[in-house]
Each structure stands twice: as C-alpha cells, then as structure tokens.
C-alpha cells in the first residue's frame, strides 16, 4: 500500500496526521509506504487536491470532492 499525504505550507496538522496514520497502520497490521509532502496552493490546484491535508491511498483520495486548492 502507498499513502501520499499533501499538506499546505501553513497547515499545523502534519504531526497529528503522522501519529494517526502510524497508529491505524499498526493496529491494522498493515504495511505501507507513507510519504508526506508540503505543497503550495498552486500545486494543490494543479493536482486537484481539495483540502489540507489530502490523503491518497494508492493514488485515490480518501475524501474526494470540493474545490481544488488548499484555500
């Protein structure tokens, strides 16, 4: 499993997000390659990310919808 997390430059949720993902993987006995990326709003729009954080599992947004961008 591959998990990519995209977080806006000013978002303070990085550490809680890491802790939550690590705990969920551990409790589920799941192995995953996890990456955390700080991104600009412009990059978020380009990638069609719809919030900060945006979490993709195997390339699929776990909470799709909304307007692209972090703003």
Residue 57 included in any domain:
yes
Query: Domain limits at 14?
Result: 2-61
Rounded to whole angstroms, the Cα distance separating 47 from 53 reads 13
Residue 49 included in any domain:
yes
Residue 68 included in any domain:
no
Q: Structure pTM?
A: 0.90
Residue 66 included in any domain:
no
Residue 35 included in any domain:
yes
Task: Indicate the Cα dihedral angle 64, 66, 69, 71, nearest 10°.
Answer: -130
Residue 54 included in any domain:
yes
- Tell me the mean pLDDT in the region 53-59: 97
pLDDT the model gives residue 39 = 95
Of the candidate ranges 13-22, 27-36, 58-67, the one whose mean pLDDT is the lowest: 58-67
- Tell me the mean pLDDT in the region 12-29: 97
Of 2, 23, 6, the residue nearest 14 (C-alpha): 6
Residue 41 pLDDT greater than 90, yes or no: yes
CB 34 within 8 A of CB 21: yes
Residue 26 included in any domain:
yes
How many distinct structural domains can be found in the chain?
Answer: 1
């Amino acid at each position: 499993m591959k998990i990519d997390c995209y977080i806006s430059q000013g978002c303070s949720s990085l550490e809680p997000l890491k802790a939550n993902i690590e705990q969920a993987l551990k409790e589920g006995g799941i192995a995953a390659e996890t990456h955390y990326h700080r991104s600009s709003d412009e990059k978020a729009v380009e990638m069609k990310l719809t919030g900060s954080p945006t979490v993709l599992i195997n390339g699929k947004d776990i909470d799709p919808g909304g307007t692209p961008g972090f703003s």
